[in-house]
Chains A and B, each alone.
Chain A
Amino acid sequence: MKFLLDILEDTKHKLFMPGKPLEKAFPLFDAGETFLFSPAHWAKKAPFVRDAVDTKRYMSMVIVALIPCVLLGIYNAGFQAQMAVNESVGFLECMIKGSILVVPIIITSYAVGGLWEGLFACVRRHPINEGFLVTGLLFPLTLPPTIPLWQVAIGISFGVVIGKEVFGGTGMNILNPALMARAFCFFTYPAQISGDKVWIATPDYIWWNTSSPGELVDGFSGATALAQAASTPGTENIIETLKTSHFDLTNLFIGLVPGSIGETSALACLIGAGFLVIAGVGNFRNILGTIIGGAFTASLLAAVAPDSLPGIFHLPAHYHLIMGGFMFGAVFMSTDPVSSAATNTGKWVYGFLIGVVAIIIRVVNPAYPEGMMLAILFMNIFAPFIDYWVIKAHMKRRKAFHE
Chain B
Amino acid sequence: MLRSEFRGGYNLKIGGRPEQNLEQMLDIPDTIAVKAQDVPGLKALVKVREGDKVKSGDVLWVHKPDHRIQFVSPWNGTVQEIKRGKRRVLIEIILKLDKKQDFGKFGTINPDSASEQDFVNYLLKTGMWPFFKSMPFNVMADPEQRPRDIYIVTTDLEPHCPDLNYVLAGKEQKLQQGVKLLRLLTRGNIFVSQCKTSTPGPNWNAVEDVRVVEIQPTFPAGNPAVISFHVAPLRRNECAWTINAQDLLALVDLTESGKWNPARIMTVAGSLAKRRRYIETYLGSSVSHILNVDVEEGEKTYLSGGVFGGIETQEDGYLGFASTSLHVLPTGSQREFLRFVWPGLDKYSFSRTFLSSLFPQDEYKMTTSFQGEDRACIQCGHCEEVCPIDIKPQFLFKAVMASDYDEAEGLGLKDCAECGLCTYVCPSKIDLSGIIHDGLEEIRKEG
A interface list, Cβ under 8 A from B: 1, 4-5, 34-58, 60-61, 127, 129-131, 168-172, 278-281, 283, 337-338, 340, 342-344, 387, 391, 394-395, 398-399, 401-403
Contacts and interface: CB of A to CB of B under 8 A. Distances in A.
A280 B350 CA distance: 9
A172 to B, nearest CB: 6
B409 to A, nearest CB: 9
Nearest to B352: A280
Given A61-B353, A395-B411, A402-B233, A42 B367 contact: yes
Contacts of A170: 375-376, 378
Contacts of A280: 351-353
Interface string B318-329: 000000000101
Contacts of B329: 48-49
Nearest first, the 3 A-B pairs at minimum CB distance are: A54-B372, A171-B376, A42-B332
A338 B352 CA distance: 19
Contact of B371 (A52, A340, A343): A52
Given A40-B335, A170-B378, A337-B379, A403 B311 contact: no
Interface string B210-248: 000000000000000000000001111000000000000
B424 interface: yes
**Chain A interface, DSSP helix/strand/loop, else mixed:** loop
Contacts of B411: 391, 394-395, 398
Given A42-B331, A49-B366, A391-B395, A1 B348 contact: no
Nearest to B425: A51
Contacts of A42: 301, 331-333, 367-370
21 contacts: A35-B338, A36-B337, A37-B335, A37-B338, A39-B370, A39-B372, A40-B369, A42-B367, A42-B369, A46-B433, A50-B369, A52-B356, A57-B353, A60-B341, A170-B378, A280-B353, A342-B394, A391-B392, A391-B411, A398-B412, A402-B233
Given A37-B337, A40-B333, A54 B352 contact: no
B169 interface: no
B420 A47 contact: yes
B391 to A, nearest CB: 9
Given A46-B309, A342-B394, A398-B412, A171 B377 contact: yes
Contact of A51 (B327, B333, B426): B426
Given A40-B369, A48-B310, 17 more contacts: A36-B338, A44-B312, A47-B433, A48-B329, A49-B12, A50-B369, A50-B371, A53-B351, A58-B380, A127-B373, A130-B375, A170-B375, A171-B378, A171-B379, A337-B381, A342-B394, A398-B415
Sort chain B's interface into a size bin: 35 or more
Contacts of B356: 52
A170 B377 CA distance: 9
A117 to B, nearest CB: 14
**Which among A51, A387, A402 has the greatest number of chain B C-beta atoms within 10 A?**
A51
A53 B434 contact: no
A56 B378 contact: no
Contacts of B370: 39, 41-43, 50
B373 to A, nearest CB: 6
B340 A401 contact: no
B334 interface: yes
A55 B332 contact: no
Contacts of B425: 51, 53
Contacts of B372: 38-39, 50, 53-57
A131 B392 contact: no
Contacts of B332: 40-43
**Which among A55, A131, A283, A391 has the greatest number of chain B C-beta atoms within 10 A?**
A55
